[in-house]
Chain A
């Protein structure tokens, strides 16, 4: 366990035992960037993502006693964030509209990504060809740097499934953008 992880665990203990809001504030400061980054990439809507990130941390405050300490705290937090995201998506159509816009823009310029406008970034175009599950797993892996086991915990999927989703995701990106020799962008 790294120093950072053991400090996280100490802070979690203070929150659980003493309901220490200052310790919780420190946990938020440490992890807000990764959680917001994950949700921003997943939803492609910054203000929605930041609202969801706040909900995620409030939910984390309520449920922090369920964190067993077996995995990393950020892994557990991203699991909460993913659950919050899925719940909000079920309730709202805003997320679907954002993805539809990205998908339409990607389709209208053809399979080849060479002539796309700058308004939609490379990452958006890549994410648009992935299913929601693939998108989440790829972001957890490549943007958040989680291990396959941590992704398996966060997304509630077996490790083998995580590996095959990543393989499939990479394959789709290659096929959709006719990239040879793994050259992106």
Chain B
């Protein structure tokens, strides 16, 4: 109620207000492709937002593969320092049946990339 009264008071204009309105007033600005330009920028932005995460992941993954494999190699070299009794137990584990570490890393990377691509297509 109060806001309606305020709004009505707002609309009470004197001669001076009307003159200012005509002075400030202008013809409506024609669209001239403005809205199309804005919408195409919005669509581009949506695509950039959708692609930025998978691209960042792929680039980051590609950069990280080499240091990660080096880390795995370095960790495997630490075996030399493991006491003999523990080592004999580890030797019993059938590591040779496992695929190479680099293959596991690449497979994990591909699985995640496919999941992200699937989510992207779904959207």
Real complex partners, A and B? yes
Chain B positions 26 through 57: 1 when the CB is less than 8 Å from some CB of chain A, otherwise 0: 10111100111111011101100000000000
Q: Are A142 and B29 closer than 8 Å at their CB atoms? A: no
Q: Are B43 and A21 closer than 8 Å at their CB atoms? A: yes
Select A149's contact among B7, B25, B30, beta carbons within 8 Å: B7
Chain A interface residue number, banded: 35 or more
- B: number of interface residues (CB 8 Å): 30
Report the minimal beta-carbon distance from A1 to chain B, rounded to whole angstroms: 12
Report the minimal beta-carbon distance from B39 to chain A, rounded to whole angstroms: 4
Cα separation A138 to B15 with both chains bound (whole Å): 16
A122 within 8 A of B: yes
Main secondary structure of the interface of B (DSSP, over half): helix
Residues of B within 8 A of A173 (CB): 20
Q: Are A28 and B35 closer than 8 Å at their CB atoms? A: yes
Report the minimal beta-carbon distance from A99 to chain B, rounded to whole angstroms: 17
Q: Are B38 and A58 closer than 8 Å at their CB atoms? A: yes
Q: Are A32 and B46 closer than 8 Å at their CB atoms? A: no
Report the minimal beta-carbon distance from B37 to chain A, rounded to whole angstroms: 7
Residues of B within 8 A of A40 (CB): 29
